[in-house]
């Protein structure tokens, strides 16, 4: 928490350094072995939790800013973040000013200005990504989706919108590379979809639809092991996968 | 085109009135009887064409601003505009300053600041929507997609991205209400999809997929007329259509 002088100084510096009125918030979903989680920060001296967020340098690309912000606040690097929605309700910045309300004039309070925030999201293997909080935060943790606490500002709405986007994208974009092992069985891939959708899927329908996407290779050798009927192993056909990321899935029109 | 004094005055007023660094650009696709077009403006004294765009009032909702801008610049009202992407390359604002380059200091030139633009798009029946240019523009016309001229700034890229989004959305959201007559035949609806996608679709596959969406009612009475085998008539089931707009199509996961 800033003192009056610190807030005035911060405001002056921030106006020079950052593109005014723009912020970025990141929704990072973590998946591992059938669990879906989201990355949350808890600021020092504040009760509420936040999505990792920050500002854009005067001459910085938005995608670059999103990755820098995520790295600075959580230590996570090389995350494939995608823009999904802009949140610009004039009322959304209001609660942010409460903490410093009346301490200085609005013109001397960076946090009293209106911010349009650009939402970015990613889906990563959270087993391989160990977040570390920055100096402003006392905690940075993976939180189970069903156990997300009340979030600050409109971050609850941003999280909900990101989850909605992720679920819709299962219908037209490939998913799972970097989340699945090199080779996987059909039930293992189905589990990824079920976890994101939060519901069970029919085994036959799943297999039929996912094969129609034409992004999988089937290995000629079933998985070795003691099972009587060993399951087939699949891997992503990276060339077709990349193409589908650009054009949409082959099951489309 | 502004004089030096006008530019300085405009900058001062604009800084007070608008949210700095934010703009909105609208891609309005028009469809009617198998033709797809896009709405373009031509500014007075400029050779190039633009998408209809503008700025956001200090305390205005983004969606409200998008509709106001479209109405002010083209006279079109009650258009269902949807946000689809933010364009924020620091270099994107550069050509905008060329016209006024060196006329005044950058700090006195509103157009010399960096703008992040929020892209909105809509698909309307262009037969029912007759645009009128505002005072700044000498023309506001529907242009065939294949005949779009070089656009100013990054507006060509914005148009391309909007079309990409529209095509992907055919896979997970319903489309066609307000574009089709109350009752229509299957080939008529197929024509809408083919026009947007820019390609022919297989008749049987189209029928199977569109019926699986479960958003159509089939009339018990075929269309009257001289044809030997009269085609069935369909209409949208509005309740299911609205639900699919929220949840995605039933053909999804």
Residue A20: is its pLDDT beyond 80?
Answer: yes
Does domain B186-247 fall under CATH 1.10.10.10? My reply is: yes
Predicted local confidence at residue A225, as pLDDT: 65
Identify the CATH assignment for A4-169 out of 3.90.79.10, 3.40.1160.10, 3.40.50.300, 3.40.50.10140. 3.90.79.10
**Helices and strands (H, E) in chain A, number of each type:** 7, 9
Q: Which of B180, B182, B174, B178 has its CA nearest to residue B192? A: B180
ipTM entry: 0.89
CA distance B163 to chain A (A): 12
Probe site for chain A from B24, B90, B194 (most A CB atoms < 10 A): B90
pLDDT above 70 (res A107): yes
Q: Which residues of B touch A90 (CB under 8 A)?
A: 58-61
For chain B, the straight-line distance linking the first and the last C-alpha, in angstroms and rounded, comes to 53
A59 contacts B197? CB cut-off 8 A? no
Task: Measure in Å the smallest separation between the Cα of A131 and chain B Cα atoms.
Answer: 28
Q: What are B39-83's pLDDT values in tens digits?
A: 999 988 788 899 999 999 999 999 999 999 999 999 999 898 999
Q: Which two three-digit tokens encode residue B82?
A: 């949807």
Angle subtended at Cα B149 by Cα B143 and Cα B150, rounded to the nearest 5 degrees: 140
- Give the count of Cβ contacts less than 8 A between chain A and B: 86
Output the pLDDT for position A227.
58
Per-residue pLDDT of chain B in tens (253 residues, 90 and over written 9): 788 999 999 999 999 999 999 999 999 999 988 889 999 999 887 888 999 999 999 999 999 999 999 999 999 998 989 999 999 999 887 655 566 777 888 888 888 889 999 999 999 988 888 899 988 889 999 999 999 999 989 999 999 999 999 998 888 889 998 888 899 999 999 999 999 999 999 999 999 999 999 999 999 877 766 656 778 999 999 999 999 988 888 777 7
* Whole-angstrom distance, CA of residue A68 vs CA of residue A237: 31
Question: What pLDDT is attached to residue B227?
Answer: 58
Q: What is the pLDDT of residue B98?
A: 60
Task: Return the SS3 of B162.
Answer: helix
pLDDT at B119: 98
Q: pLDDT band for A139, please (50, 70, 90 cuts).
A: very high
Distance, CA of A80 to CA of B11 (rounded, Å) = 38
Q: Do B58 and A249 touch (CB under 8 A)?
A: no
Which tokens belong to A164?
């909605």
pLDDT-derived band at A21 (thresholds 50, 70, 90) equals very high
Residue B145 DSSP code: G
Interface test mutation site (partner B, options A19, A63, A154, A176, max chain B beta carbons within 10 A): A19
Per-residue pLDDT reduced to its tens digit, A210-244: 999 999 999 987 776 665 677 899 999 999 999 99
Q: What is the pLDDT of residue B95?
A: 56
User: Of the candidates B114, B167, B248, which has its C-beta nearest A171's C-beta?
Assistant: B248
SS3 for B167? helix
Q: Mutating which of B85, B88, B118 best tests the A interface, going by the most A Cβ atoms within 10 A?
A: B88
Residue A127 is predicted with a pLDDT of: 84
Find the helix or strand (DSSP H, E) in which B42 lies: strand B35-43
Shortest CB distance from B253 goes to which of A56, A114, A201? A201
pLDDT score for A104: 86
Domain boundaries, chain B: 4-169, 186-247
> Chain A contacts of B114, Cβ < 8 Å?
19, 58-59
């Amino acid at each position: 928490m800033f003192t009056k002088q610190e807030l005035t100084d911060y405001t002056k510096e921030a106006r020079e350094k950052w593109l005014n009125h723009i912020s970025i918030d990141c929704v990072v979903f973590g998946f591992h072995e059938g669990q879906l989680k989201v990355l949350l920060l808890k600021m020092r001296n504040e009760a509420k939790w936040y999505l990792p967020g920050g500002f854009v340098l005067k001459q910085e690309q938005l995608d670059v800013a999103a990755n820098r912000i995520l790295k600075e606040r959580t230590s996570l690097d090389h995350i494939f973040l995608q823009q999904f929605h802009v949140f610009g309700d004039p009322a959304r910045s209001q609660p942010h000013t409460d903490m410093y309300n009346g301490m200085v004039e609005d013109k001397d309070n960076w946090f009293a200005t209106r911010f349009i925030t650009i939402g970015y999201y990613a889906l990563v293997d959270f087993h391989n990504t160990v977040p570390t909080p920055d100096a402003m935060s006392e905690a940075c943790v993976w939180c189970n989706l069903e156990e997300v606490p009340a979030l600050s500002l409109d971050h609850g709405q941003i999280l909900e919108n990101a989850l909605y986007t992720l679920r819709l994208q299962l219908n037209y974009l490939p998913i799972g590379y970097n989340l699945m092992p090199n080779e996987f069985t059909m039930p293992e891939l189905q589990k990824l979809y079920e976890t994101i959708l939060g519901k069970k899927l029919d085994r036959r329908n799943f297999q039929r639809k996912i094969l129609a996407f034409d992004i999988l290779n089937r290995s000629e050798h079933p998985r070795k092991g003691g099972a009587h009927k060993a399951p087939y192993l699949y891997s992503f056909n990276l060339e077709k996968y990349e193409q589908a990321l650009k054009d949409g899935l082959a099951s489309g029109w």
